[in-house]
Chains A and B, each alone.
Chain A
Amino acid sequence: MKVIPIFIEAGISGFESPAAEYKELGLSLDQLLISHPDATFIGEAKGQSMQGIGIFDGDILIVDRAKQASSGDVIVANFNGCFVCKILDKSKAKLLSASPVHSPVAITPEDEFQIEGVVTRSIRMHQPSNELMSCML
């Protein structure tokens, strides 16, 4: 026997779904992930040196510029004209990786160095995203 499923709601005319008025209250990822919307930017991680703390190649990084960076924070910096993601070690003036094969990098006065912001969240892309793939378009 073939059954055609009909939503109960569809059979009743004249009554609106009681859930309709709550429709606007969807969860927003922005609200959860971004505390300073005007001071935040989004970037894409490239490389393997931060795998030890769970940042993999192709992951999405949420970078907050309003937050003060402290030692031990995962930060994004402008290091000699490149955006890099590392762990900040203020006392030794070093950029640490989270990988046994990448040694710490010392920041010398000759280097161009600015902290761009603190990585407050990273998003693991378990499946490829069409939006992010440039070759798709």
Chain B
Amino acid sequence: MYALVDAVSYYASAEKVFDPSIRNKPVVVLTNNDGCICAVCPLAKKLGIPKFQPYFQVKSFLTKHKVIIRSSNYELYADLSEKMMNVIARFCDNQYVYSIDESFLYFKNYAYIKDWHQYGHEIRKAVWRETRLPVGVGFGTTSTLAKAANHAAKKLSGYNGVAVIDDDSSRKEILSRMSLTDVWGVGPRLSKRLSILGIKTAWQLANQSPKVMKDQFSVVVERTINELNGLPCLSWDDVRQDKKEIFSTRSFGQRVTDYNGLKAAITSHGCIVARKTRKQRSLIKRLLVFASSSPHDDNYYKKSIIYEFPVATDNTLKIAEGIADVFNSIYLSGVYFYRCGVGAIEIENQQYQQQDMFNANVNNPELMQCYDHINHRYGNSTVEVAAAGQIEKWQMRRDFLSPSYTSKWRDIPKIIC
């Protein structure tokens, strides 16, 4: 049995944990630079506020309905996520944290669990009690069905946060009430193509011939159909596969025009990518470095360059060197840069690295371990490569940021005595 446990409107729910004054109020959370709405709590959903709407377009509507607005407080979300995942982990010895608020569980030798509904409610209760975060729990005989059950648990009427797909009737009941885009692995483009064939619901998709669909579409569709029919095709290792690309990119709070400013911003994106790469024990072979003005500008400027490392690396210093190497071809004076970023587009597994006879290994695991330890203990950018600079002009705009309740002593919640 597989399960998917994830938080209900995670960012908005996390904002409510340490601020009891907004527990019963509609809350929305804005993305980087306060650009768009990225999370809407259930109370705000009832007001009809859509996700991914640019903030400035709904500003007056939000004020009118007294909706609480928050900037993304990543420090808080990361800390609460870790606690939430630890509580969930108690219920299964096989957990894979899929994203900041989702984790898959794989129950292998759990014959003693007779009532999955009840078990799901136990998980929900424990997480709510210990972290004050609401979660939905979906069980299924494949990971795709677990994802579908999770959707039902949270979005379909009649399920109170827990849904189980363990036989044909529960499978039919849930899948026929699900639209295609809600199926794991079916994107908006694919669902449009499928709808031309008259396939509108997940149940209709499940009843297609996997072979025919493979010929017409892809092996991915074939696999999805099999999974929807209870045939596990994604092994546990597929589900928990490492990321094949790692990006760090962001638009600027204020346009950047100067050489050093842009270089510092790109380098610090490089440092973030390097850190994430180390975390999943990979090495970077090819790095994409890019910067652009806004597409709404008169003279739109965009430049991206791929840098190839002679030997794949996770060394922040080597990555900063690589960026410095290509930077002169990216920067153009007079351009009002709006966005920049770095992406590791070819990644190798540290474990299976090919040694190169002609190029010395440039990795420095001891230094990087020390560097990661210091930054983990004292906060990111406590130590940083000099090229990343200390100028924070390009940092995000976060006008509605809540306090760092769990990571800064001066921000801990106040309790009235």
Contact = CB atoms under 8 A, between A and B. Distances in A.
Interface of A: 36-39, 41-50, 55, 57, 60-61, 63, 65-66, 76, 78, 81-86, 97, 112, 114, 116, 129, 131-134, 137
B392 interface: no
Interface string B111-131: 000000000000000000111
Contacts of B131: 38-39, 65
A83 B130 contact: no
Contact of B410 (A85, A116, A134): A134
B23 A84 contact: no
A50 B417 contact: yes
Contact of A43 (B24, B86, B130, B413): B413
B1 to A, nearest CB: 24
Nearest to B414: A46
Contact of A44 (B21, B406, B413): B413
A78 B23 contact: yes
B410 A57 contact: no
Contacts of B20: 78, 81-83, 114, 116
B413 A41 contact: yes
A133 B406 contact: no
B374 interface: no
A47 B129 contact: no
Nearest to B20: A78
Contacts of B132: 65, 116
27 contacts: A37-B83, A37-B86, A38-B83, A38-B131, A39-B87, A41-B18, A41-B413, A43-B413, A44-B413, A45-B417, A46-B417, A48-B417, A61-B415, A66-B129, A76-B415, A81-B22, A81-B23, A82-B20, A82-B21, A82-B416, A84-B416, A84-B417, A97-B417, A112-B23, A129-B409, A131-B409, A132-B409
A9 to B, nearest CB: 25
A48 B416 CA distance: 9
